[in-house]
Amino acid sequence: MHDLSYTLEHPAFDYRHQSLALYIYTFENVYGLDRDACEVRREGETLTVEASGLTWANGQEKAAGRARLVVRPSGHGDGWLIEAKASVVGKKVRSLKVLIGGVPSGEVVNLRESAAREVPPSGLLLHYPEGWRNLYTPLVVLRRKDGTLGYFRSLDAKVRDKRFALLPKGETLDVELIFEEDAVRMGDTIAAPPWEIGSCSSLEAIMEQHRQETEEHYGLRRWEEREDVPAWARDISLVAAIHMQHWNGYIFNDYEKTGQTLEWLAQRIEPKRILAYLPGWEGRYYWQYGDYRPDPRMGGETGFERLMEQAQELGIRVMPMFGLNVVNRGQENFEQWGVPALAHTAGGFPITGSVDWDGSRHYDHGTNAFLNPGAPGWQNRLVGQIRALMERYRFDGVFLDISAAWINDPYYHTYEGLAALCRRIREGRPDTLIAGEGWFDAAGIATPLMQSGHTDGVMHWHDEPHAPFFDTYNRAFGHLCLGAPGCGSTGVHEHGFNPGYTRTPLRSGIIPTVTIVDDTLATAAAEVESILADARDYARLYLE
């Protein structure tokens, strides 16, 4: 984490033995409050600071603008609220930071990827919204050195950028609470939603309080009540991820072999319990993204149609995979539907990135472009392709790759775009299940079923550390990089081999998952059978 190379000279204000300072960020500089233009009022336990002027260059220069900071009790135990707003004349304001000094040191205990995470000497930066690791809701809980718990949380009722920076300062911490405005709506004024700081009796207590408020903010519906969960989906106790064609064209399972795998599974577990998840069904994984159709090398239209008919005859549900926001920029007419939909950061940078698809170790494959699902041209194209394929082949579910990726795009809203796209896919098709990759609190509204998170193949389960926050509303299954029984292959996924993670834990919020590649049933049938036993146990424990 980078930092400034000088000591901050802006005014700070004491509240309950801690200090508070306010910083305003535009796209060209950082501004603090003008010490000589501040009016400070204390009325009981309420602190109000009004600044009629700002400074830049660490107080060396004046700037036209205003700011207001209000700190008061929250009504929750010893909790207190911070409300802040500011404007900078003639500038577009990006974000607002409250810096709190003198916070007791501790370790973070509410991350899904670790039971406890120490704050390193260089500091710790946590970000919301994040679908794979880090913060799935804007709440940070610290276990202090004396064993007590403190928390910092945003009370925002919208999906907007929050950053929590924890920086060691001797025996205490500086905690930075940063709110970034929706890039589509940025202007010369910014008002941060309230921040709450306080102590809690237990991790479960603050997580449960925050869960209930989040449910109210977003109108979350419980799993049993969700209208976008078809009745058949409530019977699923096994996700069979049958990997098909790798980016480089290697075929793990063609349509005929996949049908044989479905027959094998249906002989060993009730077919109604099985959801067949098909990554790489359209041909070269990620290469074909943006133009979905059955692949000629794997059996073509006739082979895929027969596979769908076979699944329906068996009573197995099928869910092909589609890329929500990644396409091959070489697809026909990309400049018409793709270029206008290119995703950008709030600062104007196009989103880029690549994995190592072919073992060349350069991570520089430039074939894919990252698009915003809120862009009308791309959304119309993807919805049209999916609905046409569903009409012809009658599959039951749709998996949207990288669906929890959130970007503060200045052109279109990514989260609202995801939600609208899912509604359009399901329109007139109430028996369609939509699943996605990754999860944060509001993302679960759009996709009731989602893959787990991971870091370098290490699974992160969304029901940790407080299961009700996730499984009250959603269900998960193992990530695409879950290793196949036997060799541990991750199939079409770029991780390669993941023998340390080949099965999912048996919990109500996580549906047992099996990865099937080319040789799985031939070489590791016994291990697959043990996962099927998990699926039968899941049905008995949580579905019957």
End-to-end alpha carbon distance in the chain: 49
230 within domain boundaries: no
Residue 195, pLDDT score: 98
Residues pairing with 510 in the sheet:
476, 507
Residue 526, pLDDT score: 98
Q: What is the pLDDT of residues 118-143, one digit of tens each?
A: 999 999 999 999 999 999 999 999 99
Q: What is the pLDDT of residues 269-302, one digit of tens each?
A: 999 999 999 999 999 999 999 999 999 999 999 9
16 within domain boundaries: yes
Instruction: Give the integer Cα–Cα distance in Å for 184 and 474.
Output: 29
Structure tokens at 525: 């049938």
Identity (one letter) of the amino acid at 506? L
pLDDT-based confidence at residue 265 (cuts at 50, 70, 90): very high
pLDDT-based confidence at residue 412 (cuts at 50, 70, 90): very high
Instruction: Give the integer Cα–Cα distance in Å for 454 and 334.
Output: 31
Taking every pair of C-alpha atoms in the chain, what is the biggest distance, in angstroms? 79
Residues 535, 412, single domain; the answer is yes
Give the mean pLDDT of 165-174. Answer: 96
Q: What is the pLDDT of residues 469-516, one digit of tens each?
A: 999 999 999 999 999 999 999 999 999 999 999 999 999 999 999 999
CATH of the domain at 432: 3.20.20.80
What does each C-alpha distance from 92 to 160, 292, 393 come to in angstroms? 17, 41, 49
Range of the domain at 29: 12-218
CA 285 to chain centre: 22
Residue 333, pLDDT score: 97
pLDDT-based confidence at residue 337 (cuts at 50, 70, 90): very high
Give the mean pLDDT of 301-327. Answer: 98
Contact 163, 180 (CB under 8 A): yes
Torsions phi, psi for 305 (to 5 deg) = -60, -40
Structure tokens at 450: 């989602």
510 within domain boundaries: yes
Q: Which of 440, 38, 504 is nearest to 239 (CA)?
A: 504
Share of the chain above pLDDT 70, in %: 100
Identity (one letter) of the amino acid at 157? A
DSSP 151-210: EEEE--SS--EEEEEEEEETTEEEEEEEEE--GGG--SEEEEEEEEEEEES-HHHHHHHH
Give the number of other Cβ atoms within 10 Å of residue 384's Cβ: 11
Q: Which residues, in sequence order, are CB contacts of 93 under 8 Å at separation 6+?
A: 24, 25, 26, 86, 87, 181, 186, 187, 188, 189, 190
Residues 88, 179, single domain; the answer is yes
Q: What is the pLDDT of residues 26-53, one digit of tens each?
A: 999 999 999 999 999 999 999 999 999 9
- On average, the pLDDT of the chain sits at 97
Total H helices, total E strands in the chain: 10, 30
Predicted TM-score (pTM) of the model is 0.97
Give the mean pLDDT of 143-160. Answer: 97
N residues, the chain: 544
454 within domain boundaries: yes
Share of the chain above pLDDT 90, in %: 99
Residue 359, pLDDT score: 95
pLDDT-based confidence at residue 175 (cuts at 50, 70, 90): very high
What does each C-alpha distance from 311 to 183, 231, 282, 298, 304 come to in angstroms? 45, 18, 17, 17, 11
CATH of the domain at 188: 2.70.98
Residues 41, 140, single domain; the answer is yes
> Last residue of some domain: 155, 189, 218?
218
Residues 522, 462, single domain; the answer is yes
Residue 218, pLDDT score: 96
190 within domain boundaries: yes
Residues 432, 508, single domain; the answer is yes
Residues 171, 245, single domain; the answer is no
Q: What is the pLDDT of residues 515-534, one digit of tens each?
A: 999 999 999 999 999 999 99
Enclosing H/E stretch for 338: none
DSSP 443-458: HHHH-SEEE-EEETTE
355 within domain boundaries: no
Residue 342, pLDDT score: 98
Q: Which of 204, 374, 227, 395 is nearest to 305 (CA)?
A: 395
> Last residue of some domain: 218, 246, 280?
218
Instruction: Give the integer Cα–Cα distance in Å for 193 and 67.
Output: 15
Instruction: Give the integer Cα–Cα distance in Å for 397 and 279.
Output: 13
Residues 168, 36, single domain; the answer is yes
Give the mean pLDDT of 448-462. Answer: 97
Q: Which residues, in sequence order, are CB contacts of 485 under 8 Å at separation 6+?
A: 502, 503, 514, 515, 520, 524, 527, 528, 531
Instruction: Give the integer Cα–Cα distance in Å for 373 and 234.
Output: 28
Q: What is the pLDDT of residues 221-253, one digit of tens each?
A: 999 999 999 999 999 999 999 999 999 999 999
Identity (one letter) of the amino acid at 468? P
pLDDT-based confidence at residue 106 (cuts at 50, 70, 90): very high
Residues 174, 110, single domain; the answer is yes
Residue 242, pLDDT score: 99
Residue 94, pLDDT score: 98
